[in-house]
């Protein structure tokens, strides 16, 4: 929230955007680092595309959501829009440069003129972390690599190990099942969207939508339900492969062969324990052509009772009365944040640009949602308070007082210079004659782990004191240790060696 600035001026960021600062940005940077380290481990190279694209590039890619695209004003020249995601710019890049194959990652902001809900991490400006593989390879090998990447990311993020599930399905299996159940060809996409709501709505509600809103025959809907409930490991694939009517359908048969092979690979990669083959997963976007997956976590997509749904609808109706496009939706905590990562195979998107399709498969991590959940878990464990606001390792202080106290500013600066020369992160107080108390306070506020304390007598003897901050009373080194001044850099380096550079330790 902003406040009144000088004059009539509103001192705030635009609706749905926020500043990131303090330990929030420290934690988010750590999440970026963890994710990009995994990407690099798998041979990922980063590309950077402009924050805005020609409007034509985005047109016709997002269906109904196109209304959420931000346009730039027409100030003469080309008509441009802010990117809505990183996938379409990636496909444009591949088409424009006739890319044969690439493993690319991209961590950047995207823009959606949606109703913001801050506490859910739903903003108008937010980060995505995408990894995509383009190119022609033997079946399911890139797909297996992506899912291994998902596993590594969530096992290495603090507070996520063992707390995530990768739901997976395959468009060809879904399409086959819809055909088997008797869904008319022109209703497959819309019925697919209805099935996708099963993570948030009970079957009765989804069935009502299919039959009443979308005109599906009730017996077709009920047949879908017998399949949509299937959920488990590789056994789901085997169960479906044992059903004669399923394998008689060419699309389902192909999809199941894909999935069986993928499960074999994921067995080798030790991803299977985190996987849930889930026939109710459908994913909204039209462009998926093969495997689809999303990652959920405790509380990220709560299953709702019919009563909850009714309540929610009541609330939404009330909200529709408002006409202010910038008004917040109610931050109802019973509404989950949805998936924390999602993706799939999209073999046709690049061809929409160049006419020459390149097979692609990818994953997008919703890093702002991941941030919100990670922060809440750290807070619960009181670990968030342990986050260091800066990476400074050493605070240089002058000890003294009274009228003879010089403040030792040149001496403190000279020590700082010596440490910086050696690459050591160091600060001192920008005051000519600082009180010792204020210097300690500054070091404590910054959670700086080490202090160097300059004293007249010690300096004359070529000595200097090093003190570890925060030692308990009675610790033998509570008052610090005196070392040779000309060995200062080595003494500090040996104390810093082996300390984790990341502010939160990995789970």
Annotated binding residues for L-histidine, as ranges? 85-87, 112, 128, 132, 283, 287-288
> Residues 144 to 203: which contact its own copies by CB under 8 A?
144-145, 148, 152
Smallest distance from its own copies to CB 236, Å? 23
> Residues 429 to 448: which contact its own copies by CB under 8 A?
430-432, 446
The reply on whether position 423 binds its own copies by CB under 8 A is yes
- Which of the stretches 52-60, 173-181, 201-209, 312-320 binds its own copies when contact is defined by CB under 8 A? 52-60
Check: CB of residue 257 under 8 Å from CB of residue 136: no
Smallest distance from its own copies to CB 8, Å? 9
Nearer to its own copies, 265 or 346 (CB): 265
Task: Dihedral sign for Cα 110, 115, 118, 121, please.
Answer: negative
Phi, psi of 429 (to 5 degrees): -80, 130
> Residues 347 to 376: which contact its own copies by CB under 8 A?
351-355
Check: CB of residue 482 under 8 Å from CB of residue 463: yes
> Residues 285 to 314: which contact its own copies by CB under 8 A?
none
Binding site residues, as ranges?
85-87, 112, 128, 132, 283, 287-288
Task: Report the residue from 33, 100, 119, 390 that binds its own copies according to the rule CB under 8 A.
Answer: 390
The reply on whether position 63 binds its own copies by CB under 8 A is no
Rounded CA separation 57/73 (Å): 17
The reply on whether position 468 binds its own copies by CB under 8 A is no
Task: Report the residue from 41, 239, 441, 487 that binds its own copies according to the rule CB under 8 A.
Answer: 41
Residue among 156, 348, 140 at smallest CA distance from 262: 140
Task: Report the residue from 131, 160, 227, 265 that binds its own copies according to the rule CB under 8 A.
Answer: 265
Q: What is the DSSP letter of 212?
A: I
Smallest distance from its own copies to CB 274, Å? 14
Smallest distance from its own copies to CB 462, Å? 19
Nearer to its own copies, 16 or 336 (CB): 16
Task: Report the residue from 65, 114, 117, 137 that binds its own copies according to the rule CB under 8 A.
Answer: 137
Largest Cα–Cα separation, the chain: 96
Smallest distance from its own copies to CB 121, Å? 15
The reply on whether position 17 binds its own copies by CB under 8 A is yes
> Residues 203 to 232: which contact its own copies by CB under 8 A?
none
Rounded CA separation 326/328 (Å): 6
> Residues 71 to 130: which contact its own copies by CB under 8 A?
71-78, 80, 82, 92-93, 95-97, 104, 109, 111, 113, 125
Task: Report the residue from 29, 213, 235, 245 that binds its own copies according to the rule CB under 8 A.
Answer: 29
The reply on whether position 485 binds its own copies by CB under 8 A is no
The residue written with tokens 């008509």 in the block is 79
Please compute Rg for the chain using Cα positions. 28
- Which of the stretches 216-224, 247-255, 310-318, 422-430 binds its own copies when contact is defined by CB under 8 A? 422-430
> Residues 311 to 340: which contact its own copies by CB under 8 A?
325-326
Smallest distance from its own copies to CB 292, Å? 20
- Which of the stretches 202-210, 285-293, 424-432, 460-468 binds its own copies when contact is defined by CB under 8 A? 424-432
Check: CB of residue 44 under 8 Å from CB of residue 90: no
Q: Which residues of 433-449 are buried (b: 16+ CB within 10 A; e: fewer)?
A: ebeeeebbebbeebbbb
Helix (H, G, I), strand (E, B) or coil at 41: helix
Smallest distance from its own copies to CB 100, Å? 11
* Helices 22-41 + 367-380 axis angle, to 10: 120
Q: Which residues pair with 80 in a beta bridge?
A: 54
Residue among 59, 75, 64, 58 at smallest CA distance from 110: 58
Phi, psi of 89 (to 5 degrees): -60, -35
- For the CA atoms of 496, 501, 505, 507, what is the dihedral angle to 10 degrees? -120
Contacts of 477 (CB under 8 A, 6+ apart): 467, 468, 471
């Amino acid at each position: 929230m902003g406040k009144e600035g000088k004059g009539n001026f509103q001192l705030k960021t635009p609706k749905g955007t926020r500043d990131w600062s303090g330990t929030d940005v420290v934690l988010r940077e750590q999440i970026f680092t963890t994710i990009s380290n995994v990407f690099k481990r798998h041979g990922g190279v980063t590309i950077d595309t402009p924050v805005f694209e020609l409007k034509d590039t985005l047109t016709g890619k997002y269906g109904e959501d196109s209304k959420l695209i931000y346009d730039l004003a027409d100030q003469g020249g080309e008509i441009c829009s802010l990117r809505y995601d990183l996938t379409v710019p990636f496909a444009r890049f591949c088409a424009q440069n006739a890319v044969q194959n690439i493993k690319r990652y991209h961590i950047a902001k995207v823009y959606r003129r949606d109703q913001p809900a801050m506490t859910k991490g739903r903003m108008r400006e937010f980060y995505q972390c995408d990894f995509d593989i383009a190119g022609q390879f033997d079946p399911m090998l890139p797909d297996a690599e992506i899912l291994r990447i998902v596993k590594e990311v969530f096992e290495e993020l603090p507070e996520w190990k063992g707390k995530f599930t990768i739901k997976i399905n395959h468009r060809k299996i879904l399409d086959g099942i819809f055909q088997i159940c008797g869904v008319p060809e022109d209703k497959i996409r819309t019925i697919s969207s209805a099935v996708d709501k099963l993570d948030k709505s009970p079957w009765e509600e989804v069935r009502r939508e299919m039959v009443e809103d979308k005109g599906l025959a009730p017996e077709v809907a009920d047949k879908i339900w017998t399949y949509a409930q299937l959920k488990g490991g590789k056994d789901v694939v085997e169960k479906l492969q044992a059903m004669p009517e399923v394998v008689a359908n060419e699309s389902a048969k192909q999809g199941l062969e894909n999935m069986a092979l993928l499960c074999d690979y994921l067995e080798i990669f030790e991803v299977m324990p985190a996987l849930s083959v889930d026939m109710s997963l459908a994913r909204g976007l039209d462009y998926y052509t093969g495997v689809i997956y999303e990652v959920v976590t405790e509380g990220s997509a709560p299953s709702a009772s019919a009563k909850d749904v009714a309540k929610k609808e009541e609330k939404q109706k009330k909200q529709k009365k408002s006409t202010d496009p910038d008004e917040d939706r109610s931050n109802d905590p019973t509404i989950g944040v949805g998936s924390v990562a999602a993706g799939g195979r999209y073999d046709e998107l690049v061809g929409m640009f160049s006419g020459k399709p390149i097979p692609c498969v990818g994953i997008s991590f919703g890093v702002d949602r991941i941030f919100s959940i990670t922060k809440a878990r750290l807070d619960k464990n009181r670990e968030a308070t342990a986050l260091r606001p800066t990476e400074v390792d050493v605070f240089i202080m002058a000890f003294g007082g009274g009228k003879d106290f010089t403040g030792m500013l040149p001496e403190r600066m000279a020590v700082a210079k010596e440490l910086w020369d050696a690459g050591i992160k160091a600060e001192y107080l920008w005051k000519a004659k600082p009180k010792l108390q204020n210097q300690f306070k500054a070091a404590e506020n910054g959670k700086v782990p080490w202090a160097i304390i300059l004293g007249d007598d010690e300096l004359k003897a070529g000595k200097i004191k090093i003190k570890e901050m925060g030692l308990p009373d009675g610790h033998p080194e509570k008052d610090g240790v005196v070392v040779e001044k000309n060995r200062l850099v080595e003494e500090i380096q040996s104390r810093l060696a082996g300390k984790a550079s990341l502010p939160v330790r990995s789970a």
